[in-house]
Amino acid sequence: MKDFRLYAITGEEFHKGKSLVEVMEAAIIGGVDIIQLRDKKSSKKDVLHKALLLKDLTKKYNIPLIINDHIDVAIAVDADGIHLGQDDLPLQMARKIVGKEKIIGISTHEIEEAREAQLQGADYIGVGPIFATKSKEDVVDPVTTKYIEEVKKEISIPFVAIGGIKLHNVDQVLNAGATRICAISEIVGSADITKTCQLFIEKINERVSTR
Ligand code: 3NM
């Protein structure tokens, strides 16, 4: 897959009245280069509707659209990939359904899960939650930046740090060796989404170019 730096996941509970497309477009303009539709509450029909809107948007800006969990929706709208948690369909089964061309991302919370995801052919892994987060239900305790260091040492597929990452603490995440950042609330809940993303990108570029 094409590399990315800033990954935004939808979180409509933070949108403050703005539309899904408005929020995600502001993020893309600010430098987000991959987006994920994550909706654990809506009906399948509503998720499909949102996926179609985001498919148009990501096509316009030529960036990948990833769908969380709903493999059928991902196929129906010809999204670029899917993202799965540890309790979703196992990677090998998902791969049978979506084929080799689609991106598959897996959430991992410990090194054993990261190893397994790599072994099974994940295209990237999520590494988190680095800090405490209220954006995900039943989330495990923060894994801290130590987990980034472990992954950095052992895992060769791309990884993206996630969970409680804000402009004020992203330096810690980058210092630990992450080169890709993912956020929900700090991006979609921001009063100035484009500016927030630009500041994230500046910080990522500062660190990553010196590595
Ligand atoms: N997955 P925020 S943490 C969706 O650790 C998600 O796998 C996580 O939201 C993981 O940026 C998380 O608002 C929530 O903390 C991220």
Task: Give me the pLDDT at residue 11, please.
Answer: 96
| Ligand 1 neighbours (beta carbon < 6 A) | 9, 107, 126, 128-129, 133, 135-136, 139, 162-165, 183-186
Mean pLDDT rounded to a whole number for the chain:
96
The answer to whether residues 125 and 112 touch, using CB atoms and an 8 Å cutoff, is no
Q: Write the burial class of residue 117 (CB in 10 Å: 0-12 exposed, 13-18 middle, 19+ buried).
A: buried
Distance 90 CA to ligand 1 centre (A): 20
Task: Give me the pLDDT at residue 211, please.
Answer: 53
Is the pLDDT score of 210 beyond 80? no
Is the pLDDT score of 32 beyond 80? yes
Q: Is the dihedral of CA 58, 184, 190, 211 positive or negative?
A: negative
Is the pLDDT score of 116 beyond 80? yes
Is the pLDDT score of 108 beyond 90? yes
Q: Is 13 helix (H, G, I), strand (E, B) or coil?
A: helix
Distance between CA 37 and CA 140 in Å, rounded? Answer: 21
Is the pLDDT score of 135 beyond 70? yes
Distance 75 CA to ligand 1 centre (A): 24
Task: Give me the pLDDT at residue 198, please.
Answer: 98
Is the pLDDT score of 39 beyond 70? yes
Q: Which of 14, 124, 133 is the best mutation target for the ligand 1 pocket, counting ligand atoms within 8 Å of the beta carbon and taking the most?
A: 133
- Domains of the chain (ranges; CATH) run 6-209 (3.20.20.70)
- 143-200 pLDDT per residue, tens: 999 999 999 999 999 999 999 999 999 999 999 999 999 999 999 999 999 999 999 9
Question: How confident is residue 208, by pLDDT bands cut at 50, 70 and 90?
Answer: confident
Pick out the residues of the known binding site: 36-40, 68-69, 88, 107, 133-136, 164, 184-185
Distance 7 CA to ligand 1 centre (A): 11
Backbone angles phi, psi at 12, to 5 degrees: -65, -20
| Interface confidence: ipTM more than 0.95 | yes
Task: Give me the pLDDT at residue 59, please.
Answer: 98
Task: Give me the pLDDT at residue 148, please.
Answer: 98
Give this prediction's pTM: 0.97
Rounded to the nearest 10 degrees, the angle between the axes of helix 20-30 and helix 44-61 is 30
Task: Give me the pLDDT at residue 138, please.
Answer: 80
